[in-house]
Amino acid sequence: DTAVSQTPKYLVTQMGNDKSIKCEQNLGHDTMYWYKQDSKKFLKIMFSYNNKELIINETVPNRFSPKSPDKAHLNLHINSLELGDSAVYFCASSLASGGHNEQFFGPGTRLTVL
Amino acid sequence: DAKTTQPPSMDCAEGRAANLPCNHSTISGNEYVYWYRQIHSQGPQYIIHGLKNNETNEMASLIITEDRKSSTLILPHATLRDTAVYYCIVRASSNTGKLIFGQGTTLQVKP
């Protein structure tokens, strides 16, 4: 039973399109995250939600909008896709935001913008 | 959170211990050392964390120097499946959970 799952695994789309990536965790965790790993393999946090409340919002363009309908889901919607958005996006979850809670990562969604 | 420095790459023979160093000379008293790894094409995976005492779990051991300015992750009997990028991260327990990943060390375990 997958702990953190993401859909789709691969996403190929044209510039200017709008797309969404979904994430679900079945661990009963309160906190969820989105990370972006670029072509140089740098892994950087984008957003974090704790109990459906946004707690981390790094310097990310407004075109990226996370949505957490409930504690088990954190979706990422991207408007007007650009070439530079091509990357692997990882969702993660942890029991809570503070403390020493390990983060469990999903398998990633590889987004390619043509 | 304090910055960390790791060698970009290391090799290790299968079955031998892999010792991965990390420098964190600006670490604060309330900051912990965490290790994660990322096997090719997978999401990062938590390995271990510690404050000042040495820690061991089923995956690895973490040795932190007395001055806490550096640490070493030890994989006691490396296997080919341990080939991955290993990230040393320093963070305070009070922060929002944000993990700041550096470049990490690419460990290649060779037969």
Q: What is the pLDDT along chain A (114 residues), one digit of tens a residue?
A: 679 999 999 999 999 999 999 999 999 999 999 999 998 889 999 999 998 888 888 878 999 999 999 999 999 999 999 999 999 999 999 998 777 889 999 999 999 999
- Rounded to whole angstroms, the Cα distance separating A38 from A86 reads 7
Give B-chain residues touching A21 at CB under 8 angstroms: none
Contact A104, B36 (CB under 8 A): no
Q: How confident is the model over B19-31, as pLDDT tens digits? A: 999 999 999 888 9
Cα B84 from chain centre: 11
Are A43 and B103 inside 8 Å of each other by CB? no
One DSSP character per residue, chain A reads --SEEEE-SEEEE-TT--EEEEEEE-S--SEEEEEEE-TT--EEEEEEEETTEEEEE-S--TTEEEEEEETTEEEEEE-S--GGG-EEEEEEEES-SSTTPPPEE---EEEEE-
Q: pLDDT tens digits, residue range B35-53?
A: 999 999 899 999 999 999 8
Question: Inter-chain contact B46–A102, Cβ cutoff 8 Å?
Answer: yes
pLDDT at A1: 65
**Tokens 């393999």 belong to which residue?**
A41
B93 touches chain A (CB under 8 A): yes
Which residues in chain B touch residue A106, judged by CB atoms under 8 angstroms apart? 43
Give the residues across from A90 on adjacent strands: A35
> Is A96–B43 a contact, with Cβ atoms under 8 angstroms apart?
no
Rounded to a whole number, what is the distance in Å from the CA of A56 to chain B's nearest CA? 7
